């Protein structure tokens, strides 16, 4: 049996485990003050070509989103996201838990439309009752989105421009950032992100790490961000755990290399479906593919290939999700091919 | 140089790293639905002799405290802790962040006094203005305390009785639980805890794991606790990370065995100090020792042995903390001995 | 100049001011323990024909919504409201401030559709990821809605049935309850509300009082609700202020009588518009009327009659709102007539 | 029977009721945009001699404290108060509800000691673990304190200096501000407060109003404070209610004049006790007096004079509180005298 249910089915890239074992008994300070974390921060600053950037490691994605958004917003502000954005749906209300409303816009294949954003903001401030409403303080985007799609540089720049015009922060959730950067049509490089937003995170959990995300503040972190991280329960005592992992991922370009594997496998998977005439719900260039399978097709896979049901359609078909990752092998794809 | 600054200076017990490597490419479900987590839960249920207990894994201590306390309290309730309790001081207000006040009692060598607790509760309900005050809903204890001391079975039972009388939950923070259980004077076994409280956690981060704490609800977890964990940002996507670690720690009694090492080394360290006539701030039977060092004594250690300054005293002396752990070796103690 | 901008343009019904003056120097206990509040609670229990109901007075509507919703929900639960519901838009995120997400459904002339509600709930629990999402714990309805429309008894009963099926609380915001009850097509009486929901409030601010809303819990208030009110900053020291007002409003049926005045005037206003061939955006039977005015029509009113711009339409027309109240006189309507 | 239980036993000063009646049917805008509120703001700016001050009206004291403190603090900051401070005890955790910890210092007759404050702050930043702790962002003082005592100009200036040194805001709770200003030993005038703090409020509820407090920001209110007030549920729809009251209180010096009555009566009450040889728990110069009564003395008052039990002492005596107010008459004092 092979599983395509998600991009966190396996442990960590073997080089990470090797590094953990090699350094295991070296004594280091806690809370990110260890030399591994410092080295990882340096490598990330180099990779994003922003020497002055502040970098923090947090154990998971929801944690990271909740902490960064709370730190960047004022108490009375909310965050704008598309209807299918992770913070709007699948974080159990973690943003609201910190007191902030998620203000929803429509999603277009998972993406926010710049015009709709600007219309929303113009309408907001034109509304005579705006002072009685949650004031938008930030735009949240996922790159890639929850539907595997990506923004172009032009699209991101437009949204950034609107944010600047309306004094909004822009924050990008890069849970799968590597898979976006490694995808074919992507015209953005890692170094573009610091210029385009106020904060973003480089996802580790889904891209080769056991856990951990690297938050990058291009300018400088909100004051006392360390304390805010602790307040949110998001500070790892053994900061070395995330330090070593990101130090490894950002050595010899490992992060992008293993991301490329996911994309290559995803395109093979995509080809399998299209060759069979199976329609794709969305044309995703990244590691998540969304074939629409009939009941019969799903039965054939039953017990041999695992995948996720995304949405049930009238008539018994389903939008399904097949995710590849740094760990997906050609053999995994072969198995899928053999039973499709 | 050797460090006694804390009990999380090293990585993980080697058996844990071995298990992580062996299982690395096994595909498993996320969010604690993997087979390793299930196995770990079973072993913990067996170890605490409570087959019906609910067990959850959370990445760190502050996270665990904030999530469990919020889940067990009603919105208008606060939690009683001693002045030096971890939640009252060193969690950056994580409890208040979730809306609950920490109600403080005096600490006696880090411990809560049952009589003072009862007096507090009696006075609370005798106060005609009690409805205008935060209603106590829980008692929080650390075992061992932040000062390395432990409660006896009798002491815990008394506090438990008062909690039952006043309808308070009792929650025990076991960040260093193993070190308490392995200490000489301890008359409590792991299996006693489910009978004495509503929830407790078995600390992993400080006792051999890279990260992770195991929360045990003897009866049954608060409804939808999984969702509360997610809401707090405390849900690991790769639940296997904590699952594998606790499965290893609770195989062949490893958790208690490695705890014993910390205690043996701590007693050796303690002996070194007392033999030198160095006073101990508190008579701790566990892995944290608190010698009061003069400036001159600290200078001798400078550059050779690391430790923590706990409190500066008038005249230049300091209460210091020397912590041992599962990883402390006889050689480490020898180095300390050679320079003391 | 006469104003129809809202239903709180004036002070209080004269009988209230009279009562305040007469009782002014009577010494009474604070925080709702005064005899006026007790009398008002008794009269409200009688009016809703529920002798065992718990009744509380809170100074304003947003305050009331935030306090009651927080008290009735568990920490991980959210509240379902329509897109135009007051808590979803015009409370500056007061619900999110207490940690709860507002889960939005489409609004149909301001109303929630029972079928859409049931579909939403069925889909929620059918979603394999539901544990990662905010769990719906309550339905919030406004009666009348923000668009002046009202639910029939059948509609409310259907929604109630769905709530019971899915274990949701039902809470009704009656900021303008009197105006709904006094409207022509209304088949609900005050005494029906306790049977149809878990909590509702009888609005005073918009129906004759200087301030204050009366929350009714048909069964019994959530435990320690008094303390929750205080925690929310919603407890008036001089509870007599709301006590006296509601005692007056519920003496000799004053509340419904003055509500009827608003409806009579509203229907006259409505007739003025329809006779002029001015279209109504929504067919509202209550005290809020929503004529669609052209630029020219608005110019004619300029400087003589005040009203609220509700929504600007392409081409320069506007959806406007004209609100009547207990205080609107025939003369006010005459002035409008003379300039329309 | 006469009551000295608190300073909010009666309604409002008769001139307020008169004004409410006179203006009752004047149509005005809501939410503080009415002409009465504007006039009241102007008069308060004049009274505090700070033309640029921002003034807001909020319905009650806990509400005001919670809203102002939340608006002035950053998310990770706490507020320092003495152990007996209102926010530390009698607000049901309203400060913690908004996510902020109350950091407690000892109280000396209800007052904060400047040296203890400075020692606390010095120790805080000297603690190597300070980043793991709640960062102090504000000092909260009550003037007069909950024990009726007042700060001198020198004491306030010292505390202000320490706040500036450590970048803390200073906020003063003036629930009974008038009674402090009108007391004999007071060397502070209303106009001194804007120079000494970042925000303070002029209490109305306890000094002649039905409800309402006037918050003064000497410089300028925190950005979007209106929206924060709404978010906290603290925005009155009929802002005229507080506007008219404060406009009346700040016409012809009424606020201070009626405060003086409370002080004159309080000194008479004080004299009654001292002449009888009854000890005072605290030497209060303001409207709250704290005689220590024996059981026998309390029995004599039973059924004739009401007062508050403040603290039960061993042996049956009680610290009691007798509060006077703007409404206390010479006859009230005579009754007390006749039965003491």
pLDDT tens sequence across D119-145:
999 999 999 999 999 999 999 999 999
Beta bridge partners of A305: A2
State mean pLDDT over A178-184. 97
Instruction: Please give the residue range of the domain that contains residue C320.
Output: 2-7+255-339
Residue in chain B closest to C73 (alpha carbons) equals: B75
Domain count, chain C: 2
| Residues D243 and D307 reside in one and the same domain | no
| pLDDT higher than 90, residue A312 | no
- The answer to whether residues B69 and B99 touch, using CB atoms and an 8 Å cutoff, is no
E runs forming strands in A107-222? 135-142, 169-174, 199-203, 213-217
As given in the structure block, the two tokens for residue C215 are: 């929350």
pLDDT value, residue C174: 98
Residue to test with chain D: of C3, C10, C11, C22, most D Cβ within 10 A = C11
d(CA D63, CA C236): 9
d(CA A310, CA A299): 16
Q: Is the pTM of this model over 0.95?
A: yes
Inter-chain touch C128–A309, beta carbons under 8 Å = yes
Burial class (CB in 10 A: 0-12, 13-18, 19+), D315: exposed
Nearest 10 degrees: Cα torsion D245, D247, D251, D253 = 60
d(CA C12, CA C211): 9
What percentage of chain A has pLDDT greater than the value 70?
100
Q: Which H or E run contains B211?
A: none
| Residues A232 and A99 reside in one and the same domain | yes
| Domain C-terminal end among D253, D275, D300 | D253
State mean pLDDT over B59-65. 97
State mean pLDDT over B137-152. 98
The per-residue pLDDT of chain B, averaged, comes to 97
Inter-chain touch C233–D23, beta carbons under 8 Å = no
| Residues C175 and C233 reside in one and the same domain | yes
What percentage of chain C has pLDDT greater than the value 70?
100
As given in the structure block, the two tokens for residue B96 are: 């208040």
Q: How far is CA A246 from the centre of its chain?
A: 16
Closest to B74 measured CA to CA, from C231, D221, A159: C231
| Residues D275 and D153 reside in one and the same domain | no
d(CA C149, CA C142): 9
State mean pLDDT over B176-184. 97
d(CA A125, CA B291): 63
Can you count the helices (H) and strands (E) in chain B? 14, 13
State mean pLDDT over A260-277. 98
Chains touching A by CB (3 or more pairs below 8 Å) = B, C, D
Query: Between B185 and A215, where is the model more confident?
Result: A215
E runs forming strands in B100-162? 102-105, 135-142
- The answer to whether residues A243 and A57 touch, using CB atoms and an 8 Å cutoff, is yes
| pLDDT higher than 90, residue B217 | yes
d(CA A81, CA A85): 6
Contacts of C70 in chain B (CB under 8 A): 75
Inter-chain touch D100–B96, beta carbons under 8 Å = yes
What percentage of chain D has pLDDT greater than the value 90?
97
Contacts of C75 in chain B (CB under 8 A): 70-71, 75, 228, 231
SS3 for chain D is CEECCCCCCCCCCHHHHHHHHHCCCCCCCCCCCCHHHHHHHHHHHHHCCCCCCEEEEECCHHHHHHHHHHHHCCCCEEEEEECCCHHHHCCCCHHHHCCCCEEEECCECCECCHHHHHHHHHHHHHCCCHHHCCEEEEEEEECCCCCCCCCCHHHHHHHHHHHHHCCCEEEEEECCHHHHHCCCCCCCCHHHHHHHCCEEEEECCCCCCCCCEEEEECCCCCCCHHHHHHHCCCCCCCCHHHHHHHHHHCCCCHHHHHHHHHHHHHHHHHHHHHHCCCCECCCCCCCEECEEECHHHHHHHCCCEECEEEEECCCCCEEEEEECCCCCCHHHHHHHHHHC
| Residues C91 and C168 reside in one and the same domain | yes
As given in the structure block, the two tokens for residue D312 are: 């039960």
Inter-chain touch B29–A5, beta carbons under 8 Å = yes
d(CA B105, CA B103): 7
pLDDT value, residue D312: 87
Name the region of D175 (left: φ>0; alpha: ψ -120 to 50; beta: rest).
Answer: alpha
Question: Tokens 């050679």 belong to which residue?
Answer: B338
Opening angle at CA D120, ends D109 and B100, nearest 5: 80
| Domain C-terminal end among A253, A278, A295 | A253
pLDDT tens sequence across D162-203:
999 999 999 999 999 999 999 999 999 999 999 999 999 999
Label residue A219 by pLDDT band (50, 70, 90).
Answer: very high
| Residues A111 and A93 reside in one and the same domain | yes
Q: Which residues of B86-101 are buried (b: 16+ CB within 10 A; e: fewer)?
A: bbbbbbbbbbbbbbbb
d(CA A159, CA A139): 9
Burial class (CB in 10 A: 0-12, 13-18, 19+), C298: middle
pLDDT tens sequence across D253-294:
999 999 999 999 999 999 999 999 999 999 999 999 999 999
| Residues B259 and B216 reside in one and the same domain | no
Question: In CATH, what number is assigned to the domain containing residue B282?
Answer: 3.90.1150.10
- The answer to whether residues A211 and A204 touch, using CB atoms and an 8 Å cutoff, is yes
**Taking chain C, what is the end-to-end CA distance rounded to the nearest angstrom?**
13
As given in the structure block, the two tokens for residue C54 are: 């718990």
In sequence order, which residues have a C-beta less than 8 Å from that of residue A271 and are 6 or more positions away? Answer: none
pLDDT value, residue C295: 95
Question: Tokens 């904030």 belong to which residue?
Answer: B66
What percentage of chain B has pLDDT greater than the value 90?
97
Closest to B89 measured CA to CA, from D168, D134, D117, D125: D134
Tell me how close the Cα of D192 comes to any Cα of chain A, in angstroms.
Answer: 30
As given in the structure block, the two tokens for residue A149 are: 């799609």
- The answer to whether residues B261 and B326 touch, using CB atoms and an 8 Å cutoff, is yes
Using alpha carbons only, how large is chain C's radius of gyration in Å? 20
d(CA B88, CA D134): 10
| Residues C323 and C282 reside in one and the same domain | yes
C109: three-class secondary structure by DSSP: coil
ipTM above 0.85, yes or no: yes
| Residues C224 and C174 reside in one and the same domain | yes
Inter-chain touch B99–D100, beta carbons under 8 Å = no
Q: Which H or E run contains C220?
A: none
Contacts of A96 in chain C (CB under 8 A): 78, 96, 99-101, 134
pLDDT value, residue A314: 87
| Residues A179 and A85 reside in one and the same domain | yes
- The answer to whether residues A205 and B238 touch, using CB atoms and an 8 Å cutoff, is yes
Tell me how close the Cα of A286 comes to any Cα of chain B, in angstroms.
Answer: 20
pLDDT value, residue D315: 87
Question: Tokens 């081409």 belong to which residue?
Answer: C315
Closest to A233 measured CA to CA, from A36, A15, A60: A60
Residue to test with chain C: of B226, B227, B228, most C Cβ within 10 A = B227
d(CA B97, CA B94): 5
Within 13 A of A235's CA, how many CA atoms are on the CB side?
A: 21
DSSP annotation of A287 reads S
Asked whether the bond before B263 is cis by omega within 30 degrees of 0, the reply is no
Question: Tokens 């070509």 belong to which residue?
Answer: A49
- The answer to whether residues B56 and B221 touch, using CB atoms and an 8 Å cutoff, is yes
| Residues D58 and D205 reside in one and the same domain | yes
| Residues B121 and B141 reside in one and the same domain | yes
Burial class (CB in 10 A: 0-12, 13-18, 19+), C55: buried
Closest Cβ–Cβ partner in A89, A133, A308 for C92: A133
C-alpha to C-alpha distances, D322 to C142, D150, D290, nearest whole angstrom: 45, 17, 6
| Domain C-terminal end among C252, C283, C311 | C252
| pLDDT higher than 90, residue B258 | yes
As given in the structure block, the two tokens for residue A111 are: 């993406």
d(CA D277, CA C160): 66
Nearest 10 degrees: Cα torsion A36, A42, A48, A50 = 150
CB pairs under 8 A between A and C: 55
CB pairs under 8 A between B and C: 47
The per-residue pLDDT of chain D, averaged, comes to 97
| pLDDT higher than 90, residue B314 | no
A139: three-class secondary structure by DSSP: strand
Question: In CATH, what number is assigned to the domain containing residue D174?
Answer: 3.40.640.10
Tell me how close the Cα of D186 comes to any Cα of chain B, in angstroms.
Answer: 30
Burial class (CB in 10 A: 0-12, 13-18, 19+), C338: exposed
d(CA D316, CA C58): 38
d(CA A285, CA A267): 8
For chain B, give the number of residues. 340
Chains touching D by CB (3 or more pairs below 8 Å) = A, B, C
d(CA C214, CA C246): 8
d(CA C309, CA C319): 6
How many CB atoms are closer than 10 A to CB C25?
A: 12
Opening angle at CA B301, ends B295 and B303, nearest 5: 120
Write out chain C's pLDDT in tens, 340 residues. 899 999 999 999 999 999 999 999 999 999 999 999 999 999 999 999 999 999 999 999 999 999 999 999 999 999 999 999 999 999 999 999 999 999 999 999 999 999 999 999 999 999 999 999 999 999 999 999 999 999 999 999 999 999 999 999 999 999 999 999 999 999 999 999 999 999 999 999 999 999 999 999 999 999 999 999 999 999 999 999 999 999 999 999 999 999 999 999 999 999 999 999 999 999 999 999 999 999 999 999 999 999 999 988 988 899 999 999 999 999 999 999 999 9
């Amino acid at each position: 049996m092979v599983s395509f249910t998600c991009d966190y089915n396996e442990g960590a890239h073997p080089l990470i485990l090797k590094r953990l074992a090699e350094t295991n008994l070296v004594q280091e300070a806690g809370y990110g003050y260890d030399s591994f974390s410092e080295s990882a921060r340096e490598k990330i600053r180099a990779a994003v070509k922003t020497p002055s950037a502040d970098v923090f490691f947090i154990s998971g994605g929801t944690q990271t989103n909740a902490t960064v958004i709370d730190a960047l917003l004022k108490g009375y502000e909310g965050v704008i996201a598309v209807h299918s954005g992770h913070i709007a749906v699948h974080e159990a209300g973690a943003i609201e838990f910190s007191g902030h409303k998620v203000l929803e816009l429509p999603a277009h294949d998972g993406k926010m439309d710049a015009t709709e954003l600007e219309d929303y903001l113009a309408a907001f401030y034109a509304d005579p009752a705006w002072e009685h409403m949650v004031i938008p303080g930030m735009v949240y985007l996922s790159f890639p989105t929850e539907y595997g799609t990506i923004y172009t540089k032009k699209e991101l720049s437009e949204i950034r421009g609107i944010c600047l015009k309306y004094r909004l922060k822009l924050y990008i959730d890069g849970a799968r950032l590597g898979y976006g950067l490694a995808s074919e049509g992507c015209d953005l490089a890692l170094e573009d992100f610091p210029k385009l937003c106020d904060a973003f995170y480089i996802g580790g959990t889904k891209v080769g790490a056991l856990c951990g995300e690297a938050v990058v503040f291009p300018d400088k972190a909100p004051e006392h961000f360390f304390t805010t991280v602790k307040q949110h329960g998001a500070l790892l005592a053994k900061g070395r755990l995330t330090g070593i992992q990101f130090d490894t991922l950002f050595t010899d370009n490992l992060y992008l290399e293993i991301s490329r594997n996911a994309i290559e496998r995803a395109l093979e998977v995509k080809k399998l479906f299209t060759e069979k005439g199976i329609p794709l719900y969305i044309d995703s260039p990244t590691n998540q593919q969304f074939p629409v399978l009939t009941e019969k097709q799903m039965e054939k896979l039953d017990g041999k290939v695992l995948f996720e049901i995304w949405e049930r359609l009238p008539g018994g078909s389903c939008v399904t999700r097949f995710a590849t990752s740094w760990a997906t092998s050609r053999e995994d794809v072969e198995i899928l091919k053999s039973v499709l």
